[in-house]
Structure 1
Amino acid sequence: DAGCKTCFGPQAQDCSSCFKGTNIYCHRGFFETAEGSCEACDSSCLTCDGIKSQCLSCDDGYYLGSGMCRLNCSLQTYPADDGICRRCPPHCDVCSDDRTCFKCSFLYLMLNGVCKASCPVGYYEDMEEGRCGQCHPTCGSCSGPLADDCETCSPFSPKLYKGACSKECLAGTYYETEIQMTQCDVFCTECHQTCMSCSGPDANQCTQCEKGLVLDPNTLLCGVTGDTDCPPGTYLHDDQFTCMGCHGHCYSCEGPGDDECLTCVVPKYLHSKHLFCVTFVKN
């Protein structure tokens, strides 16, 4: 064609370079160079611009991302219907579209397809799975999914004891409140070993005694009568009625000291010479 400076065929679109002042038409798969000639795009590009590796579009089965044609989109992008690798939602590494995430970026947690920096109330941070897990229904906040993973309680089960929430404190415990800046938490705390129910932690705050013991209505102490023995974790006081608490390491004892144990709570062992409980016995 007369408009071509050089060509590879007779048609106007067969120019490989043009005379000054005229624009070249490059076939698909070619791009116009600064010198006004057509040069082949990179083999991965359907069309390109400026340089051979700067793809503008891709063949079927490939997706355009960062100027390159790929079989799979890179991290934090997804293959959109228009053949382009589009950005995932914020803080998302793997997604199916711009709304649904499957895997969050490091230190972010998944909740209903959205990545969160922290979990809302009623959920716990499952760092191993990278998600916000839902607390047990009785929990207000929690450290895990189980009923005894509660840190605070829901209004429907307000009393917390050993990580579990209930409507009322269990037998052998009483409730006390701890008023904090923004909330009032109710905790169930263990009664004295001799009490089945109580109003506080001390031996003289029993309202009902453990089986086999009787309540002194004047002192509110639970004691033994007849051939009854004191329950585990207590010993008989010199008054021959009151059951007093052993040291916390003792399962049974003959007095309140840590060196007056007769048997030990698991996993401790009784030292054969000194009658106190140790984690292990040295030879």
Structure 2
Amino acid sequence: MCHTDCFTCTDVGYDKCLTCQPSLFFLGNRCYQLCPSGFFGDSATKTCSACSDGCDSCFGTEDNQCVSCKANLYLAESKCQESCPASYYTTGDEHVCKRCHYTCKACAGDSIHQCESCISNLFLLSGDCLRECPSGYTPNSNTGTCDKCADNCSACSGVEPNQCTGCVPHFRLDGNVCNPACPEGQYSLGSDGKCKSCGHRCLSCAGPDDCTSCNEATFRYNGECLTKCPVSMFKRDRACLPCDKAGACLECDAMGACRNCKEGYKLTQGNCNNPCERGLYLKDDACHTCPTDCAACNGPSEFSCTACKDSTIESLRVKYNYQDEVYCGGCSGGCELCLQQYDNYCVSCHPGKHLLRDTTLAQRAQCVEACPAGTFPTQTNGLSECVHCHESCGECNGPSATSCASCGPGLMLEESSCVAQCSESFYLSGTACLPCDNICKSCNGPGSKSCLTCPPGFVNQAQECVHSCSPGFFQRGDSCEACHPTCLECSGESAHQCSECIAGFSLAGESCVNACSQGLFNDHTLNTCKPCHVTCTNCTEGGPAQCLTCKAPLVKNTDNNECWQCCNEGARDRCCYCSGSNINTCTLLAESFDKHDASTWSSFTRYVVGGVLIVALLGVLICPLYHWKNKQAPTYSLLNDQDSDETDRFNRINEAYRVDEDDEDFVSMIHS
């Protein structure tokens, strides 16, 4: 029987499993409910599959499916890395990278006030990333920071003393420099450089009706020096201060103790208190009910609440401060909770709406039906919020630079990233960089026939990557270029660099011609012009018997198509009889001997004929002497059998001149 974890096994042990129970995962002959470190339970195969390198635990085999990391690695967006990427931070020994506030490029924590550097178009000042630097600071585009102006400058274009554009009190602007201001009791606005009097009660001022200190017997209040403080104020340190923060006291002594209270309050030991129970306020010595949303109040106005009935609103300080009073009437503009009654101070939204924060002031936020361009919706602790895209994105589905759906001006979308120029293996189509065909290294359009360059092992032929150039092309560098139109194979684009020709043309040297020139014939097996025999000017093939015309002074022998000499030009060896009507041809016909026998007989034949004539002459002289001895003497042929052909030709002469074979002296003379 198998172990209880096993479905099938080789033995009874827990480590002898072949397959596991349906709820368990198989690894190394064991079955696990939870896979060990470095593995995860694959529900499809019911096995413990290995995590990617670096993952200590994971939910898949990819490197971006980690849950925790091995020692000395950091987890960021489900991926284990040697350090946290930009816009992330880590604390303590957690080794988990957390995202900075979206205004931060680098940070020490997730707060908006913990930035160490800022995204583009924002400037760092004391941990905050600001769209505009405050007074006394100037934006530095190179460092992305708000740099403090020089001493005495209230505004500047740079940090140098001669780059001031405004001055602090007691200094005036001379050109771009802040110099000491006018004497005590005077001021200068810097327009004309002249000092003007602050007024008879001001000891010093920043301008007209803007006292910064007062002379004796007067007290500063809202830029004025008064001899008597207003109601609800008391004198201290030559200034008018409010009797109490709540504003319930109408008059107080020099120590701030109240002497007279507003309606609805009762004076008790120098303090103004509400004697009525919670939810009521005092008026005309009677307690009246507070406004509907107030849990406590000091008057009938909706802005006179001191506590709200909604404890959630109160605990979150979601209230609107108006003239030192609290408004509990709820939020407007779709806010579920808010910091103030206006719709751009929302803390959370009603279902179906998204919170959109202001990039310049973190407290400002509004609820919108749909996230605008440049933001994307996300859930954060149950709150639906519009988070700003990366600065390069026009629209996005995440905060990173690789989550863009569209791009800002001057940028192109390439695989969810916005780039100024398409990568090598992409081409521009409208405002997007689209991937080239897999066979192309670079391209200018879709498909395999738009390649500009090719990977190793391929060459570019008519914007298509091939292993070798097709017929009609030759390789030059990494490209196939077209041969001359007559060439099927070539070594260059010239008409004189062919090595094989197209149909209908023949190769003559390294050129393709539609007809071979004089002295050449077309070898149809190779489609090449080859030289005729040396005796031919034109021919059908390369042998001596395939001549069409002959080189001078040779003429064509019509019996065998060879080029011979005419016999009547003094030639006696391999010559033929030339026709009088056609001087370019000759013949070996037999009847030619009757016309030209004197010039065609061989030396042997002439000797034979000469011998016969001598014998005939002697016969005429001596015939009467021997006639009586041998009237019937036999005749001898004077032709030798050495040349049977010539013997046949001269039968007529042999028949005409015969001698007697018994004439021994004559025969002996001929043979000698």
Contact 1:31 1:52 in 2 (8 A): no
Q: Which residue number in structure 1 is paired with residue 500 of structure 2?
A: 103
Q: Which residue number in structure 2 is paired with residue 244 of structure 1?
A: none
Contact 2:565 2:575 in 1 (8 A): no
Q: Which residue number in structure 1 is paired with residue 592 of structure 2?
A: 201
Give the superposition deviation at 1:201.
Answer: 2.9
Q: Whole-Å Cα distance in 1 between the matches of residues 422 and 452 of structure 2? A: 14
Give the direction of change, closer, same or farther, for the CA distance of 1:144–1:112 in structure 2 (3 Å limit): same
Give the direction of change, closer, same or farther, for the CA distance of 1:176–1:123 in structure 2 (3 Å limit): same
Match of 2:537 among 140, 158, 164: 140
Secondary structure of the corresponding residue to residue 51 of structure 1: coil
Q: Which residue number in structure 2 is paired with residue 4 of structure 1?
A: 393
**Higher-RCO chain (CA-CA 8 Å, sequence separation at least 6):** 1
Q: Whole-Å Cα distance in 2 between the matches of residues 73 and 7 of structure 1? A: 46
Contact 2:472 2:489 in 1 (8 A): yes
Q: Which residue number in structure 2 is paired with residue 49 of structure 1?
A: 444
Q: Whole-Å Cα distance in 2 between the matches of residues 124 and 28 of structure 1? A: 53
Whether 1:159 aligns to 2:159 is no
Q: Which residue number in structure 2 is paired with residue 190 of structure 1?
A: 588
Q: Deviations over 1:206-259 (max 9, x none)?
A: 2244665759x9xxxxxxx9535984987967x955xxxxxxxxxxxxxxxxxx
Contact 2:393 2:408 in 1 (8 A): no
Give the superposition deviation at 1:202.
Answer: 6.2
Whether 1:173 aligns to 2:588 is no
Q: Which residue number in structure 1 is paired with residue 488 of structure 2?
A: 93
Q: Deviations over 1:77-125 (max 9, x none)?
A: 01112x2210112211111222322111112111111111110011111
Give the direction of change, closer, same or farther, for the CA distance of 1:52–1:152 in structure 2 (3 Å limit): closer
Q: Whole-Å Cα distance in 2 between the matches of residues 231 and 186 of structure 1? A: 28
Give the direction of change, closer, same or farther, for the CA distance of 1:176–1:8 in structure 2 (3 Å limit): farther
Contact 1:159 1:167 in 2 (8 A): yes
Q: Whole-Å Cα distance in 1 between the matches of residues 398 and 499 of structure 2? A: 51
Query: Structure 2 regions of 5+ residues with no counterpart?
Result: 1-389, 413-420, 568-572, 614-634, 657-672
RMSD (Å) for aligned C-alpha atoms: 3.8
Secondary structure of the corresponding residue to residue 521 of structure 2: strand
Contact 1:139 1:150 in 2 (8 A): yes
Q: Which residue number in structure 1 is paired with residue 476 of structure 2?
A: 80
Match of 2:463 among 63, 67, 70: 67
Q: Deviations over 1:123-176 (max 9, x none)?
A: 111111111001222211112222333221112x42222233244444573112
Q: Whole-Å Cα distance in 2 between the matches of residues 71 and 9 of structure 1? A: 44
Give the superposition deviation at 1:17.
Answer: 5.5
Q: Whole-Å Cα distance in 2 between the matches of residues 7 and 189 of structure 1? A: 100
Return the letter of the residue paired with 2:498.
C
Secondary structure of the corresponding residue to residue 427 of structure 2: strand
Return the letter of the residue paired with 1:92.
C
Q: Which residue number in structure 2 is paired with residue 19 of structure 1?
A: 407
Give the direction of change, closer, same or farther, for the CA distance of 1:117–1:9 in structure 2 (3 Å limit): farther
Q: Whole-Å Cα distance in 1 between the matches of residues 525 and 408 of structure 2? A: 65
Return the letter of the residue paired with 2:514.
A
Q: Which residue number in structure 2 is paired with residue 254 of structure 1?
A: none
Secondary structure of the corresponding residue to residue 31 of structure 1: strand
Q: Whole-Å Cα distance in 2 between the matches of residues 204 and 31 of structure 1? A: 91
Q: Whole-Å Cα distance in 1 between the matches of residues 544 and 444 of structure 2? A: 61
Give the direction of change, closer, same or farther, for the CA distance of 1:121–1:171 in structure 2 (3 Å limit): closer
Contact 1:17 1:38 in 2 (8 A): no
Q: Whole-Å Cα distance in 1 between the matches of residues 578 and 437 of structure 2? A: 75
How many residue pairs end up in the alignment? 218
Q: Whole-Å Cα distance in 2 between the matches of residues 240 and 172 of structure 1? A: 30
Q: TM-score, normalised by structure 2?
A: 0.29
Q: Which residue number in structure 2 is paired with residue 265 of structure 1?
A: none
Q: Which residue number in structure 1 is paired with residue 434 of structure 2?
A: 39
Contact 1:29 1:47 in 2 (8 A): yes
Give the direction of change, closer, same or farther, for the CA distance of 1:66–1:17 in structure 2 (3 Å limit): farther
Give the superposition deviation at 1:178.
Answer: 5.4
Give the superposition deviation at 1:47.
Answer: 0.7
Larger radius of gyration: 2
Q: Whole-Å Cα distance in 1 between the matches of residues 502 and 406 of structure 2? A: 51
Give the direction of change, closer, same or farther, for the CA distance of 1:206–1:139 in structure 2 (3 Å limit): same
Relative to its length, the structure with more helix (as a share) is 2
Query: Structure 1 regions of 5+ residues with no counterpart?
Result: 180-184, 193-199, 218-224, 242-283
Contact 2:392 2:408 in 1 (8 A): no
Q: Which residue number in structure 1 is paired with residue 517 of structure 2?
A: 120
Give the direction of change, closer, same or farther, for the CA distance of 1:175–1:154 in structure 2 (3 Å limit): same
Q: Which moved further from structure 2: 46-55 or 116-125?
A: 46-55
Secondary structure of the corresponding residue to residue 592 of structure 2: coil
Contact 1:178 1:186 in 2 (8 A): no
Give the superposition deviation at 1:44.
Answer: 1.3
Percent of aligned pairs sharing the same letter: 21
Q: Which moved further from structure 2: 90-99 or 65-74?
A: 90-99
